Amino acid sequence: MSRIKVIQQEDASGRLKEIYNDLIQKRGQLAEVHKIQSLRPESIVKHMDLYLEIMFSKSELSRAEREMMAVVTSVSNQCFYCQIHHSQALNNYWKDENRIQKLRKNYFDAKLNERETALCLFAESLTLNPSDFDEPRMIDNLKTAGFSDAAILDATLVIAYFNFVNRIVLALGVNLEDNEGTGYKY
């Protein structure tokens, strides 16, 4: 149960109703993570703009790699809501539920390649120990694994974004939808 007032779809009017309807048209349904921002409707629009830029724009990182980092970041933060949503998004690419479960339990058991492992280590480290980045070791590891500076920036943006969203979800008590987060257009 959310810890703040949420305006439900059936009670929305004006700009909020427009935003809700647009999300439903584009995404297939309305997510609880968006409704939690209903008291500030324009924040939902800005949130979606940021999400689409970070997760869907052209990048050296594949969509699967970005979703994988979202899952690892969310596991590191113990954010069940985002783990479920982005595990389902990742499975859209991996098509291997068992591998997804391994990723969530211990990504070293998920049959990752060197590139994927480096991204997971980076996501976990930046999430749990951001102050460790005063030394260039983690960035150097990514460069050694073949990532360009642009790819490293993209990875950092994904991880930072999911730390942001995880904190909204955890602080405000966002619960998984009744359909368990399924049915979204990826």
**pLDDT tens-digit profile of 151-162?**
999 999 999 999
d(CA 60, CA 42): 30
d(CA 55, CA 66): 6
d(CA 109, CA 25): 38
Would you state the structure tokens that stand for residue 59, as one six-digit string? 């990048």
Q: What is the largest CA-CA distance in the chain?
A: 53
Percentages of the chain per state (helix, strand, coil), in multiples of 5: 70, 0, 30
pTM of the entire structure? 0.95
DSSP-assigned letter for residue 132: G
Fold of 63-172: AhpD-like (1.20.1290)
DSSP-assigned letter for residue 108: G
Among residues 50, 56, 62, which one has the least CA distance to residue 185?
56
Question: What is the pLDDT confidence band of residue 134, given thresholds at 50, 70 and 90?
Answer: confident
- The pLDDT of residue 145 is 95
d(CA 65, CA 96): 15
d(CA 37, CA 16): 10
The residues near 58 (Cβ < 8 Å, ≥ 6 apart) are none
- The pLDDT of residue 132 is 87
Question: What is the pLDDT confidence band of residue 178, given thresholds at 50, 70 and 90?
Answer: confident
Enumerate the CATH 1.20.1290.10 domain ranges in the chain, comma separated: 63-172
- The pLDDT of residue 181 is 62
Rounded to 10 degrees, the C-alpha dihedral 50/54/153/91 comes to 150
Cα Rg, the chain, nearest whole Å:
17
Question: What is the pLDDT confidence band of residue 129, given thresholds at 50, 70 and 90?
Answer: very high
- The pLDDT of residue 4 is 98
